[in-house]
Amino acid sequence: MTTNPSLVQNQPVTSAVPPWWKGAAIYQVYPRSFADSNGDGIGDLAGITARLDYIASLGVDAIWLSPFYPSPMDDFGYDIADYCGVDPIFGNLADFDALVARAHALGLKVTTDLVFAHTSDQHAWFAASRASKDNARADWYVWADAKADGSPPTNWQSVFGGPAWTWDARRGQYYMHNFLGTQPQLNVHNRAVQDALLDVVRFWLDRGVDGFRIDAINFAMHDPEMRDNPPAPPSNKVRTRPFDFQQKIYNQSHPDIPLFLERIRALTDQYDGSFTVAEVGGDDAVREMKLFTAGVNRLNSAYGFDFLYADRLTPQLVREAAQQWPDAPGIGWPSWAFENHDAPRAVSRWTPDGVDPAAFARMKMALLCALRGNIILYNGEELGLDQVEIPFELVKDPEARKNWPLTLSRDGARTPLPWAAGEEHAGFSAADPWLPLGPAHRELAVDRQQDDDRSLLNLTRRLVALRAAHPALRLGRDARWVAAGDLLGFDRIAGNQHLRCLFNLGGKAIDLAAHGADGVVLLALNGADPTILPPCGALWLEIEGTY
């Protein structure tokens, strides 16, 4: 197995300097589970700061911090009670400032999560809004009268199960929530609400933040006419929530959302080098992602769930996802993630039967690093962590508790990062962690992989370096797609640099005689060479001449 590819230095393909985020590798940090500095079993900002040298050693361009704001933690930070603070379990604003300063000193950009579709019901805005129908913030959330029979205003259902409406006796009305009942929906149609959210963006940019991932932004605006959603067409898929029985037309995805995004972009453009990426899920995600990133006055990038919930990794899936984002005028720049805090670990979902998960993890990382767009690595992905089975009595995920056992707990991808195999709790904390450590994770600890040249950790460092060193990988277009059986192939081209990337996503060897595998080998994994791709083999070749 070759896991020490040589780096080939190339001149830039254009004199124009692209923005730092274009083609970037971004490392997602889930703060609760990354590193605990104060021994309470929960990760914190100081713990992240202490480990920033590790993140920088991966060669990534930026970090993305999942929410650290004050929150009752009903949805573990995605229910924000104060957009401009730090929850005490994570530290304080001084800790955040220290994190940003250290990251910048290491050459890392800092991006954070913004949740603009809803807040916590503990937010001061909601306390004011529910107090009366005629105060200054009365229309900052989505309120509606009951039907004549007392039932909710519409048939809309929440993502986490049950109606998307909760009765509030103080106002004598229902308030809307697309997620938990403690996550009331902001009325982002309201210009004053937009102005307040823009003030949040400005607050963090002024503290040195370099960009934002905007969570569930397609949920930010509802249909003011309060029309019922139509039923979803018949499906062979198991439906575990009432939400799955509807076409989500009127509770989300309002056509005015891009106009709000243009206001965000106009503000972020006032700060040199700022970056915005939308998270977009749902039945119409690709159209919405393109809409939210179209032209030059909306968000810089978007990513969806093409891979995050896919049961299998197939050549057809990769080709179809990538070809939805052609290098064409007016088409936005994609971002890709195989794992995150909401989805099961990819090694557990995708490793073919009879294949070594470690070999699959190597090939998977090579594939991610070869894709056109930004790539997002979720903490622990570089170690090959698998999904952890969390017993019901320890489950924290509110959706999993509500729909147990039909909804797979997100907790299994949120377990603590193992830093030192021989230390208590694998070096994550001196106390019992908030979620149990994965039983197989101690052997995958950072200190076990750090000095092993054959480890996934060190391979990840080399792959990210290769991506950064080759304009075709970071910025080039793609071409010549092959998706035949388990064989995936595509070319990456920029100027006079032409690379061919080949992957075996299955468990049987593939003869490459018919697939033009000629050129200088930049990367060969799991026994691959220009004649054959063993199971989970990967090959990157530099081709002479232009395409």
Give the active site residues: 215, 279
Distance of CA 250 to the CA centre of its chain: 25
| 521 strand-pairing partners | 541
Rounded CA-CA distance 470/464 in Å is: 10
Distance of CA 195 to the CA centre of its chain: 26
Token pair belonging to 153: 């205003």
* Neighbouring C-beta atoms of residue 215, cutoff 10 Å: 21
> Do residues 540 and 368 touch, judged by C-beta distance below 8 A?
no
Rounded CA-CA distance 383/459 in Å is: 10
* Neighbouring C-beta atoms of residue 453, cutoff 10 Å: 10
Token pair belonging to 423: 């230390």
Sign of CA dihedral 214, 218, 223, 228: negative
β-strands 25-29, 109-115 pairing: unpaired
> Do residues 516 and 493 touch, judged by C-beta distance below 8 A?
no
Q: ω before 234 within 30° of 0 (cis)?
A: no
Rounded CA-CA distance 335/23 in Å is: 8
> Do residues 292 and 302 touch, judged by C-beta distance below 8 A?
yes
Rounded CA-CA distance 394/411 in Å is: 9
> Do residues 246 and 229 touch, judged by C-beta distance below 8 A?
yes
Q: Which has the closest alpha carbon to 226: 187, 181, 284?
A: 187
Q: Which has the closest alpha carbon to 338: 499, 505, 521?
A: 505
Token pair belonging to 156: 């809309």
Q: Which has the closest alpha carbon to 472: 347, 327, 345, 353?
A: 327
AA identity, residue 96: F
Rounded CA-CA distance 342/279 in Å is: 12
Rounded CA-CA distance 494/11 in Å is: 11
DSSP 329-393: TT--EEEEES--TTS--HHHHHPPTTS-HHHHHHHHHHHHHHSSSEEEEETTGGGTPPPP---GG
- What 3-state DSSP class applies to 312? coil
